[in-house]
Amino acid sequence: MRVIRCGGKTMAQGGISQVTNKEGSLFESTMERFDYAAQRLNLDPGLYRLLRCPNREITVYIPVMMDDGRLEVFIGYRVQHNIARGPCKGGIRYSPDVTLDEIKALAAWMTWKCAVVNIPFGGAKGGVICDPSKMSMSELERLTRRYTAELLDFIGPERDVPAPDLNTNEQVMAWIMDTYSMHARHTVNAAVTGKPVGLGGSRGRKEATGRGLTIIAKEAMQRFNLKLADSQVVIQGYGNVGSTTARLMHDEGCRIIAVSDIEGGIFNPDGIDIAKLDEHVSKHKSVTAYPDARAVGNEELLEIPCEILIPAATENQITTKNAGNIRTRILLEGANGPTSAGADPILEQKGVFVVPDILANAGGVTVSYFEWVQDRYGYFWREKDVNERLEEVMCNAFKDVYHYSQIHRESMRIASYMLAVDRVAYYTKIRGIYA
Ligand code: GLU
């Protein structure tokens, strides 16, 4: 273990600003965990101040000609949190709820996530305030291309590499890659990850977050001498991450007893047939009204007794308000930031084994790294190779974090932050500060 010490001073003596937990501020919620980890590492106060701030916050105003001839202006962000260990990496989300505070938090999480799985990237995140469900494909394309054009000086294979996130997909990545390439005057497929396979995307990227979660679920269950087969699993969210995880865990023999999406949830204690559910979803665009299960609300769903609960939707789903009612053995965070900092001690007291987002859902960015590597040497791996390498990275990261949690007697959450902050701080110190 490498620890950056601050010459015997405690963090408080180092003159660090006071942090209060506001469940409302995602950035403060994540920084509260960072602060505690930094304190446990006895981090140098200067490094603490540096790592607490993003490197860059970019706001762009994106004019888009709408189909009806109106000119709309959208607000977009890209926050680059840290580049100590390599180029920035992180997704882009499209949502009416995007805020700069949220993007800052998500960018910092990317830094820690890349460090936990030990891939050579820093962290970034982007977001555009828009409602893609109310926009046509051509409006979305114009929005994406202009947003990319506004960011041209800041992104690229060596600078900052975007990827899909909430409400963005392979198509959006293809537009970003094309816009970037048109300006570069040649095809630069390493400019984004999560592209279609035929455009330099990686096999297995689409399933990677769900596959990573399944690998980590197996590792976590082993710690309790439990088997994945026949365990009861509840999944909140049925987008790419939730649905892939459901399918892969179902294949492992798990009983997926409840799932939900934005419309509501379904529950069947005997287990849901995921292939049948997927057919239902492709027809009806929602899990609700699936015939072989009863309806449950999203709140009730989180409180169903189970072995593994996977929040795979959005932030702040488990808070001080409902943490006391969670009845799972393992909480596996598929989403980024599904648990507020205030909920952590409540879950710990209840004996819930929390596998934090920055470890649990890192499969996506890990295969993004593989994609970037494949693009840069122009040789593409078989899916089998991608999946084997993913398994190796995820298992090693789980072991590292578990080991840290044992030796420091801290939760998996704090241990993963400690491991990540230690790695980033160490290399920041080695690089030194350019003046
Ligand atoms: N959006 C994903 C995440 O939050 C993937 C990011 C990436 O692949 O760069 O981890």
Quick one: pLDDT band at residue 25, thresholds 50, 70, 90?
confident
Work out which ligand 1 atom sits closest to the CA atom of 165: 1
| DSSP run (H or E) holding 92 | strand 88-95
pLDDT for the residue 24? 65
Could you tell me the distance, in angstroms and rounded to a whole number, from the CA of residue 107 to the centre of ligand 1?
10
pLDDT for the residue 23? 57
- Residue 180: both structure tokens together: 């970037």
pTM score of the predicted model: 0.93
- pLDDT, tens only, 208-225: 999 999 999 999 999 999
Catalytic positions, please? 125
- pLDDT, tens only, 126-141: 999 999 999 999 999 9
Virtual torsion, Cα 402, 257, 166, 34, nearest 10 deg: -30
Query: What contacts 366, CB < 8 A, 6 or more positions away?
Result: 117, 119, 208, 212, 390, 393, 394
pLDDT for the residue 99? 97
- Per the model's pLDDT, the better-predicted residue between 257 and 13 turns out to be 257
- CATH 3.40.50.720 assigned to 202-395+411-435: yes
Q: Is the separation of the CB atoms in 146 and 62 below 8 Å?
A: yes
Check whether 17 has a pLDDT greater than 70.
no
153-157 long-range CB contacts below 8 Å, 24 or more apart? 154/56, 154/58, 154/78, 154/80, 155/78, 155/180, 155/191, 156/180, 156/188, 156/191, 157/87, 157/188, 157/190, 157/191, 157/372, 157/375, 157/376
Work out which ligand 1 atom sits closest to the CA atom of 365: 8
Give the orientation angle of helix 45-52 with respect to helix 412-431, to 10 degrees. 100
The bridge status of strand 264-267 relative to strand 306-311 is: unpaired
Distance CA 199, CA 190 (A): 10
pLDDT for the residue 128? 98
Please determine whether the domains at 56-199 and 202-395+411-435 fall in the same fold group of CATH. Answer: yes
Mean pLDDT of 232-249: 98
Could you tell me the distance, in angstroms and rounded to a whole number, from the CA of residue 159 to the centre of ligand 1?
16
Distance CA 306, CA 262 (A): 21
- pLDDT, tens only, 43-102: 999 999 999 999 999 999 999 999 999 999 999 999 999 999 999 999 999 999 999 999
Check whether 341 has a pLDDT greater than 90.
yes
Check whether 176 has a pLDDT greater than 60.
yes
Q: DSSP of 140-166, one letter per residue?
A: HHHHHHHHHHHTTTT-BTTTEEEEE-T
- Residue 132: both structure tokens together: 């893609």
Check whether 20 has a pLDDT greater than 80.
no
Does ligand 1 lie within 6 Å of residue 168's CB atom?
A: no
Distance CA 212, CA 117 (A): 11
Does ligand 1 lie within 6 Å of residue 364's CB atom?
A: yes
3-state SS, 245-304, equals HHHHHHHCCCEEEEEEECCEEEECCCCCCHHHHHHHHHHHCCCCCCCCCEEECHHHHHCC
Q: How large a percentage of the chain has pLDDT more than 90?
A: 93
Check whether 228 has a pLDDT greater than 70.
yes
pLDDT for the residue 14? 30
- Residue 81: both structure tokens together: 């949190």
pLDDT for the residue 1? 35
Does ligand 1 lie within 6 Å of residue 119's CB atom?
A: no
DSSP 63: E
- Per the model's pLDDT, the better-predicted residue between 4 and 250 turns out to be 250
Residue among 110, 209, 373 to mutate when testing ligand 1 (max atoms within 8 A of CB): 110
Query: What contacts 398, CB < 8 A, 6 or more positions away?
Result: 215, 216, 219, 220, 355, 359
Distance CA 402, CA 400 (A): 6
Q: Average pLDDT over the chain, rounded to whole?
A: 94
Q: What SS3 class is residue 94?
A: strand
User: Domain limits of the chain?
Assistant: 56-199, 202-395+411-435
Residue range 56-199, CATH number: 3.40.50.10860
Q: CB 384: neighbour CB atoms within 10 A?
A: 10
Could you tell me the distance, in angstroms and rounded to a whole number, from the CA of residue 69 to the centre of ligand 1?
34
pLDDT for the residue 28? 86
Q: Is the separation of the CB atoms in 294 and 258 below 8 Å?
A: no
- State the residue for tokens 């699936």: 290
pLDDT for the residue 298? 92
- pLDDT, tens only, 343-354: 999 999 999 999
pLDDT for the residue 13? 30
Mean pLDDT of 157-185: 98
